[in-house]
Structure 1
Amino acid sequence: MGPVIAWDSRFFRKSSLYWPLQDVAARFEGALEWPAVEAVDEALSEAAGVRFRLQPPRPRRRRRRRPVDPSSLYDARIHVEGWVPTRPSNWHDFMNALVWATFPAGKRALHARQHRTVAARLGDAPKALPDRRTREQDGLAMLDEGSLLLLAVEGRVSAITAALEARDTSAVQNEMAEGSALALVFGHALYESLLPEERRSIWAMVALLPCPGPLPTERRACIRLADARLAELITTPGTFSQPETFRSLPLDERVLCGGSVLRREPGGELFG
């Protein structure tokens, strides 16, 4: 566990990689202390399409294990009941809420699929959770926590795929500089990893999202497009089920934002 990072309402201005969260994060700018879960819900639930509620305490361990209640599981709370269990004063859960409000369709599709996957494994009378996750569950967890969305013009997908396979970062950078691709951080654990002053090197799993025609240059239009394409890909059977085939890019502003086709403010921040 790393050092505890104090609340900072301007956190999203410290890295250009936060640009997808800019609008929703700005709703908390100026807050002198951690917003309560109720305040997070009030600010974000309409955009997210789900409610944010205080995570219930874990039940005490008993000597005799009770059967699993599927409705009490995390993804069931979201998919069936429509609320996200959220811990107070917690960067990980706060980033998750911001991602929900930014990519609601993608998050909804992700947790619906995770819920179906878990429910199918539990069956009708579950006595215990399985000891191990399936490869599909591993892949979906990686998408949720540590993924980077890469919008790509359909005609350049083959070249971009080849560059990712070869770990040719400069070739992907060139595609972004030419307007053929655009990177958006999706995984909330990645956003959390940007908080420390001294960051460790991270390579983020890439979810490649082919798109017809030229990519938008307006920030919000790019976010909406990425959200829609991600949701469509998640609902496609078999996707994200083979983590060993995933490819990655460094979580680095110089790589992912240096050649962005999005317009910039005079100070260098992405805007639209």
Structure 2
Amino acid sequence: MKRFTPYPQWRTDCLQGGAFAHLNALFALEQYHDWPSLSELNQHQLVNAQGLAIEFIANSEFELDGRYYEQFIYETGKVPTRSENWHDLFGAYIWRLFPKTKALLNRLHIEEMALQTCSKRSKTRNALTLFDECAVVLAVSDPSWITAFRQHQWQEVFVERKEQWQHSIRAYTFGHANYEMLTQPFIGLTGKALFIDVDADIFCKDLSAQYRYLDARLYEMIAEQNVLADNSQLSPLPLLGVPGWYDDNVDPNFYANTDYFRPKRRNTK
């Protein structure tokens, strides 16, 4: 499997694919000739769970502080952002796309840390971290999609029902690590899907409205329905299989690679 090594310099050619279509539509990344500045990232009015204004700051300020990353954000509203770093850049954009959910995840980390009685991380904290880094929200207006994905019916969801994408199902990246790795896509790249039932008319709304709606729904699902109590609600999602996200997947034979598009493991007991 290819080892992922992030690009050290700013380049927009790696942001051309369909996986980045939403970011380009909402933030016009292709306009930049160099890394977006902190002042540009801070053109928003976001708050954390304590009502403190979210401010993206140089990572050096955090390094001198000594507090845990999530604690620092919760207590100050400041989000450490490394210079010329894809991971942190995409993290900043996810804050802007899902502000309520990001603030909630930050608060839940703090609450879980307060309950922690040993050095071992709780199942909830593991789920929060996995979601934060690797999640893709799959909004579906037909629940049969959920069953097919959970049964790893890759031919069905990616080939047989390809034309239904964008109409009864749509993918929204939440995990900023996904975006980082998609700048250099490789076979094996897999995210974690969380399904949200929606009415089909959501896909007719403008993109910003779609994100506002999904942010509110995610907040409700996590805060009230406790879907991230553990990892059980997250399903594997081969990211390069999503229609439009990878040039090679226009060929149906692309999905014949069972090392990547793995069948559901059956319980033989």
**Superposed counterparts of 1:231-270, under 5 Å:** 231-252=219-240, 254-255=242-243
Query: Is the 2:17–2:245 Cα contact (8 Å) retained in structure 1?
Result: no
Q: TM-score, normalised by structure 2?
A: 0.74
1:21 matches 2:23: yes
SS at match of 1:182: strand
User: CA separation in 1, counterparts of 2:24 and 2:33?
Assistant: 18
Q: Name the structure 2 match of 1:121.
A: 116
CA pair 207-256 structure 1, distance change in 2 beyond 3 A: farther
**71, 83, 86: which one pairs with 1:88?**
83
Give the alignment's TM-score, normalised by structure 1: 0.74
**In the alignment, which residue of structure 2 is the partner of 1:269?**
none
CA contact 2:18–2:244 (8 Å) conserved in 1: no
The CA deviation at 1:30 is: 4.1
Please point out which of 130, 140, 149 is paired with 2:137: 149
1:5 aligns with 2:17: no
Any idea what SS the aligned residue of 1:238 has? coil
Instruction: Tell me, yes or no, if the aligned pair for 1:150 and 1:209 is still in contact at 8 Å.
Output: yes
Question: Unaligned regions of 5+ residues in structure 2, if any?
Answer: 48-52, 247-269
Amino acid at match of 1:177: Q
- Distance in 2 of aligned mates of 1:212 and 1:87: 39
Q: Are 1:76 and 1:115, in contact at CA under 8 Å, matched by a contact in 2?
A: yes
1:187 aligns to 2:191 (yes or no):
no
Report the Cα distance in structure 2 between the residues aligned to 1:244 and 1:29, rounded to whole angstroms: 37
Please give the secondary structure, in 2, of the residue aligned with 1:151: strand
Q: 2:56 aligns with which of 48, 52, 59?
A: 52
Q: Percent identity?
A: 22
C-alpha deviation, 1:97, in angstroms? 0.4
Aligned-partner Cα distance in 1 for 2:211–2:175: 14
Matched, 1:37 2:38: yes
Find the residue that maps to 2:119 and give its secondary structure.
coil
TM-superposed deviation, 1:94: 0.7
Partner of 1:268: none
Matched, 1:223 2:208: no
- How far the C-alpha of 1:257 sits from its partner, in A, is 5.6
Which letter maps to 1:161?
I
2:97 corresponds to:
102
Q: Which residue of 2 aligns with 1:125?
A: none
Question: Is the contact made by 1:147 and 1:204 (CA closer than 8 Å) also made in structure 2?
Answer: yes
Does structure 1 conserve the Cα–Cα contact (< 8 Å) formed by 2:134 and 2:177?
yes
> How far 1:231 sits from its partner (Å)?
1.5
Distance across 2 between alignment mates of 1:32 and 1:183: 28
Distance 1:161 1:33, change over 3 A: closer
Is 1:139 the counterpart of 2:140? The answer is no
Cα deviation, residue 249, structure 1 = 1.8
| Partners of 2:30 and 2:197 in 1: CA distance | 34
CA contact (8 A) 1:183 1:256 kept: no
Contact kept in structure 1, 2:6 and 2:86, CA below 8 Å: no
User: How many residues of Structure 1 are paired with residues of Structure 2 in the alignment?
Assistant: 234
Counterpart of 2:186?
Answer: 199
User: In structure 2, how many angstroms separate the alpha carbons of the residues matched to 1:185 and 1:87?
Assistant: 21
